[in-house]
Amino acid sequence: MTPVDEAGSGVAQTDAADPALLDAATLAGVPDEFQRLWTPHRMAYIQAGPEVLRKECPFCEAPRKSDEDGLIVFRGRTAYALLNLFPYNSGHLLVCPYRHIATYDEATDEEVAEIGLLTQQAMRVLRQVSRCDGFNIGMNQGHVAGAGVDEHLHQHIVPRWGSDANFFPIIAKTKALPQLLGDVRRAIYDAWHA
């Protein structure tokens, strides 16, 4: 039996204060063919703007936070691995030295060795967790070379799948990500520490 509102319309009443309880069929709008891509993690970047990255080094700040808050999946002796806050693909990891250095040639032999080891471990874990088909791995050294944070050395490990390329990045400068960062971090962290 459908509840009747005070006007006797027969429209089901829900708690308007809780949008999660609303039935999609009763909301305004006309169904269409479009699929909706929900990428809520991008709001952090949109609302804060790029100026935030200039105030504090995110790769010096991340290790000061809990693993969950810093998106860290592994802490080594001289370097650590974390999720990219603005990923190209789900599981996009970064490997960073703890020391605030700008370029690879400033890294010590121990840092270079651990960055390499963590990169290999990240690849194994990502293959296990996400069943990716390949990787893009690299470092952008300096702003002119495309480094978003050029003051702190970091290596990108981007998992790739045969079906992950589409027109969104080219036409709309948008990347569709199927998982939230917290869920991805948890899966990678659990697999890395298993």
Give the active site residues.
154
Token pair 């305004």 in the structure block, residue: 28
78: how many CB neighbours lie within 10 A of its CB? 16
* 146: region left, alpha or beta (phi > 0 left; psi from -120 to 50 alpha): left
- Candidates 110, 115, 113; CA nearest to 153 is 115
Is the Cβ–Cβ distance between 114 and 107 less than 8 Å?
no
The whole-angstrom separation of Cα 166 and Cα 160 is 12
- Candidates 88, 81, 191; CA nearest to 130 is 191
Structure tokens given for 50 = 């790029």
In the chain, at which residue ranges do the beta strands (DSSP E only) sit?
Answer: 72-75, 79-83, 93-97, 134-138, 155-160
